[in-house]
Amino acid sequence: SQTIHQWPATLVQPVGSPLSLECTVEGTSNPNLYWYRQAAGRGLQLLFYSVGIGQISSEVPQNLSASRPQDRQFILSSKKLLLSDSGFYLCAWLNLRRLSGANVLTFGAGSRLTVL
Amino acid sequence: GDSVTQMEGPVTLSEEAFLTINCTYTATGYPSLFWYVQYPGEGLQLLLKATKADDKGSNKGFEATYRKETTSFHLEKGSVQVSDSAVYFCALSDPSNYQLIWGAGTKLIIKP
């Protein structure tokens, strides 16, 4: 069965420090991968998506970046965090071979980032 | 462009009450429609989906019917429980791409 892992689950970082959030998917190949952010009390904001290794599309210009070094690994990074980067970050995957007429996303458990 | 509009929350109900969370959409194509649920501190989980007009998605006592004439996909449950307290997201996907369009989410609070 397919599973998705995110880590770390929670972290507290000072302003100006770097960030690395990691997401891996098991039990599937060539998934579409997504990073979303959910600010406190707000809806979902798509940050990045990837259709393959090394292919990253950015939806919102900001100080975050994403990379996909392997087929089932998706990394969210920042060189210098801002206070506004605080939020709940969610990784998700979509297996194109199982569309069956509906694009169902499967989400990880999330990473809660607090920037102080 | 495509969009999804959900009723604003929070919605506060007593246990065993009837629930309706409204969701309407605008889309140029023939989207699939979804409800996702997010329990406190967790990621999102697919609750139910419908892929074409008049389809009814159902799961865990929740139901939603894809109404093309009213462009709606309202979520209903006959008798809510405290454990249903969560944030509910309505979403649509355009079959021509792999993106989902999300509603803002509706927080549901069930009091015992």
The residue in chain B having the minimum alpha-carbon distance to the alpha carbon of residue A57 is B99
Q: Is pLDDT above 80 for A41?
A: no
CB contact (8 A) between residue A102 and residue B46: no
| Confidence class for position A55, pLDDT limits 50, 70, 90 | very high
Average of pLDDT values for A57-78? 92
Tens-place pLDDT, residues A71-89: 999 999 999 999 999 999 9
| Confidence class for position B84, pLDDT limits 50, 70, 90 | very high
In chain B, residues with a C-beta closer than 8 Å to the C-beta of A46 are 99
Q: Is pLDDT above 60 for A20?
A: yes
Average pLDDT, chain B: 93
Nearest-CB residue to B44 (from A6, A90, A112): A90
Tens-place pLDDT, residues B43-82: 999 999 998 899 999 999 999 999 999 999 999 999 999 9
Q: Is pLDDT above 50 for B108?
A: yes
Average of pLDDT values for B14-22? 97
Nearest-CB residue to B93 (from A46, A102, A107): A102
Q: What is the end-to-end Cα distance of chain A in Å, rounded?
A: 38
Please tell me the predicted confidence (pLDDT) of residue A99.
47
3-state SS assignment for residue B82: helix
One-character DSSP codes across chain A? --EEEEE-SEEEE-TT--EEEEEEEES-SS-EEEEEEE-TT--EEEEEEEEETTEEEESS-SSEEEEEEETTEEEEEESS--GGG-EEEEEEEE-GGG-TTS---EE---EEEEE-
Euclidean distance between CA atoms A98 and A87, whole angstroms: 31
Q: Is pLDDT above 60 for A101?
A: no
Q: Is pLDDT above 90 for A9?
A: yes
CA A1 to chain centre: 21
Average of pLDDT values for A18-31? 92
Average of pLDDT values for A44-67? 90
| Confidence class for position A61, pLDDT limits 50, 70, 90 | low
| Structure tokens given for B7 | 């009723």
Q: What percent of chain B has pLDDT over 70?
A: 96
Nearest-CB residue to B42 (from A92, A101, A110): A110
User: In this predicted model, which residue has the larger pLDDT, A98 or A77?
Assistant: A77
| Structure tokens given for B42 | 């967790």
Interface test with A, best of B87, B98, B108 (most A CBs within 10 A): B98
CB contact (8 A) between residue B104 and residue A43: yes
The residue in chain A having the minimum alpha-carbon distance to the alpha carbon of residue B105 is A43
